[in-house]
């Protein structure tokens, strides 16, 4: 279940004609000749003949060019993918038609939020082979964009006019979150091996997944004996368990008004939702490498997107497609609705990572009131980004100014309120963590690997 994104209807080409340099130069020459005619009476009136003849030649050139000069055929991929804040390329293919000049001026107008590296380019088209233009641009916003406009300018047959044609290309630009920094911080998790890193750790517990039956051995517990098999075989038979190899992981994203809070990341102002999305995609990649099944849920006052748990690169691509268009919506989240939805849809016990903001006391109290039944059915871990300045009173560097004392006190009071929320949710069975936005992705992966190591799910 994903909110649909509708593409606009394509527009037809728009043509226009502007005077060329040759026509303007001829008119300027005729104007100078008119000044000379004003000085000599015997030349009076001849400039009108010169001007009329020049304009007649220009009109003939225009009429002939409109019939014979053709713009090249333009084609582009239906979907072009970019990464936010990183340069990408949009390739446009051009094919000559009969009547297409050798040289033309070409330009692209991308939707708002894209920064072009150049305004226009002069092209020389080959006789038979197709040519292409690689238009480089950098997107500043995530989502889907339409309305890529291409403009071609060609000279008329005699060069008196510039024939221009503008058209909207049937192209969809998809801009995805930038995961480069998160990947660099956790480079070990992207190595081509089954487990993360090179350190071998012991798995705690005996496992929950049934593997086989075997004869009873000294030291086996009575709770491990398979009584039906024992009665049938006539001697004690023990059940053998193994660590669960496939678990279900869900990331639950809060896209309500709380996710629109601005945060600073490498000097760039972004929103909390952007940090949620990048961290969620990194966590899903970690689950994919571990062989677990992973899914995605996005909600506000209602559920906006839901992808049931799956595995493989294709399913990860589907998750990425589902979230790259999400934007904060000006509505209040409904904890009761998302809890009801998850309890209805998720039958198998799963690990749920909530990425939300519990800084609003009223919403935090409502969240705690409804999370109990869900936490008894699933393993719930709630993570939120630490607001700026929210920390214990004596944490951080020493105070240097008097005004900073009051800022520290305000931050301590907010930190104390969030700590009370954590203490309120802990008896319900939910784990609450608050961290800096730079460490969110790494913290989620650490939580996930620790759950697998301890077999807490």
Cα torsion for 197, 202, 206, 210, to the nearest 10°?
A: 30
- CATH 3.40.50.410 placement within the chain: 180-199+245-454
Q: What is the pLDDT of residues 58-72, one digit of tens each?
A: 888 888 888 888 888
Is the CATH number 3.40.50.410 carried by domain 180-199+245-454?
A: yes
Q: What is the pLDDT of residues 227-272, one digit of tens each?
A: 888 888 888 888 876 655 578 899 999 999 888 888 776 667 788 8
Predicted local distance difference test score (pLDDT) of residue 380:
92
Question: Which pTM was predicted?
Answer: 0.76
- CATH 2.60.40.10 placement within the chain: 13-176
* Average pLDDT of the chain to the nearest whole number: 82
**Residues ≥6 apart with Cβ < 8 Å to 55:** none
- 347 confidence band (pLDDT: 50, 70, 90): confident
Strand partners, 150: 108, 167
Predicted local distance difference test score (pLDDT) of residue 265:
66
Q: What is the pLDDT of residues 103-154, one digit of tens each?
A: 889 999 898 888 888 888 888 888 777 788 899 999 988 889 988 999 998 8
DSSP of 257-320: GGGG-EEEETTEEEEHHHHHHHHHHHHHHHHHHHT-EEEEEEESSSEEEEEEEE-SHHHHHHHH
Higher pLDDT, 220 or 116: 116
Predicted local distance difference test score (pLDDT) of residue 196:
45
Kindly tell me if the per-residue pLDDT of 219 is higher than 80.
no
CATH superfamily of 13-176: Immunoglobulins (2.60.40.10)
Strand partners, 264: 269
- 340 confidence band (pLDDT: 50, 70, 90): very high
- 341 confidence band (pLDDT: 50, 70, 90): very high
């Amino acid at each position: 279940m994903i909110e649909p994104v509708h593409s606009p209807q394509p527009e037809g080409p728009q043509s226009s004609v502007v005077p060329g340099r040759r026509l303007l130069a001829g008119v300027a020459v005729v104007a100078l000749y008119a000044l000379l005619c004003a000085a000599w009476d015997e030349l009076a009136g001849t400039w009108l003949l010169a001007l009329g003849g020049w304009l007649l030649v220009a009109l003939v050139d225009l009429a002939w060019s409109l019939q014979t000069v053709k713009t090249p055929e333009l084609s582009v991929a239906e979907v072009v993918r970019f990464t936010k804040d990183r340069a990408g390329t949009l390739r446009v293919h051009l094919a000559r038609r009969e009547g297409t000049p050798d040289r033309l001026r070409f330009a692209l107008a991308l939707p708002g939020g894209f920064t072009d590296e150049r305004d226009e380019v002069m092209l020389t088209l080959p006789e038979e082979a197709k040519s292409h233009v690689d238009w480089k641009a950098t997107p500043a916003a995530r989502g889907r964009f339409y309305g890529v406009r291409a403009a071609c300018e060609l000279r008329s047959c005699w060069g008196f006019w510039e024939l221009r044609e503008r058209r909207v290309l049937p192209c969809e630009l998809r801009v995805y979150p930038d995961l480069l920094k998160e990947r660099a911080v956790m480079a070990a998790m992207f190595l081509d091996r089954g487990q993360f890193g090179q350190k071998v750790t012991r798995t705690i517990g005996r496992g929950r997944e049934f593997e086989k039956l075997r004869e009873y051995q000294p030291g086996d517990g009575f709770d491990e004996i398979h009584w039906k098999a024992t009665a049938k075989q006539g001697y004690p038979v023990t059940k053998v368990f193994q660590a669960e190899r496939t678990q279900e992981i869900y990331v639950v994203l809060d896209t309500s008004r709380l996710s629109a809070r601005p945060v600073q990341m490498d000097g760039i102002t972004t929103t909390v939702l952007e940090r949620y999305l990048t961290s969620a995609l990194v966590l899903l990649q970690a689950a994919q490498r571990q062989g677990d099944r992973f899914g995605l849920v996005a909600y506000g006052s209602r559920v906006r997107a839901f992808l049931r748990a799956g595995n493989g690169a294709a399913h990860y691509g589907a998750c990425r497609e589902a979230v790259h268009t999400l934007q904060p919506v000006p509505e209040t989240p409904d904890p009761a609705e998302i809890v009801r939805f998850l309890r209805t849809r998720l039958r198998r016990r799963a690990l749920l990572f909530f990425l939300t903001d519990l800084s609003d006391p009223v919403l935090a109290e409502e969240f705690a009131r409804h999370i109990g039944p869900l936490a008894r059915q699933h393993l719930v871990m709630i993570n939120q980004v630490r607001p700026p300045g929210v920390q214990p009173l004596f944490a951080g560097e020493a105070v240097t100014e008097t005004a900073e004392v009051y800022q520290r006190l305000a931050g301590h009071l907010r930190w104390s309120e969030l700590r009370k929320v954590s203490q309120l949710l802990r008896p319900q069975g939910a784990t609450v963590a608050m961290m800096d936005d730079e460490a969110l992705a790494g913290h989620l992966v650490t939580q996930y690997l620790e759950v697998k190591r301890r077999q807490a799910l």
